[in-house]
Amino acid sequence: MKMDFIVDKQTKTVSITKEFAFELSLVWDAYTKQEFLDQWWAPKPLTSRTKVMDFRVGGRRFYAMVSPDGQERWGLQKYTSITPKTNFKLFNTFADENENPELPGSDWDLNFSEQDGTTKVSISIYNESLERLEKMVEMGFKEGTMSQLNNLDDLLAKLSREKESE
């Protein structure tokens, strides 16, 4: 189902709204349970590997995005507020393999609602510095190759060729 992606450069906020043809409780689980998150969080061909996840206020998810050649890029999400099946907030940063956060980070606000069997998830991400977006994009993909490539499609095609020739 449809996705909206809106960038407000002035308020340094990215808003992503997505509708799912599934009930809220299932969608909520997909965002808040480690075994589900690891199955969709990393854009292919990356994989997500959660090392620690403790979904409660003050808890965190410490995870790696792993590239096909085994390179890891660590991320840390600290849960700052949880209203079950309605909303949760987190503070997102990159991290080293010892869980030391790399500041600045971004504040995420995730809202869940259901109507007529459709679940809507609205995420708003506030970045202190939008330059972090560059890093986030890099983290999403193999580091270092980004600058040589014109767009994501090229990269994906290249990575998939590399994977096949392995």
Partner 1 sequence: MRRDIFQAIADPTRRAIIALIALQAMTPNALAEHFDTTRQAVSKHLRILTECELVTQDQKGREIFYSLEIEKMKEIDKWLEQYRKIWETRYSQLDDLLAKIKKQEKEK
153 CB-near residues (< 8 Å, 6+ apart):
none
Least Å from the CB of residue 34 to partner 1: 13
Nearer to partner 1, 99 or 163 (CB): 163
- Rule CB under 8 A: which residues touch partner 1? 1, 3, 5, 7, 9-10, 12, 14, 16, 18, 20, 22, 26-27, 30, 36, 39-44, 129-131, 133-134, 136-137, 140, 151-152
Residue number, 48 or 95, with CB nearest to partner 1: 48
Q: In what order do the strands lie in the sheet with 3-8?
A: 3-8, 13-20, 118-127, 101-115, 87-95, 72-83, 60-66, 47-53
Q: DSSP code of 70?
A: -
Distance CA 143, CA 126 (A): 24
Q: Least Å distance between CB 58 and partner 1? A: 26
Smallest distance, partner 1 to C-beta of residue 101, A: 19
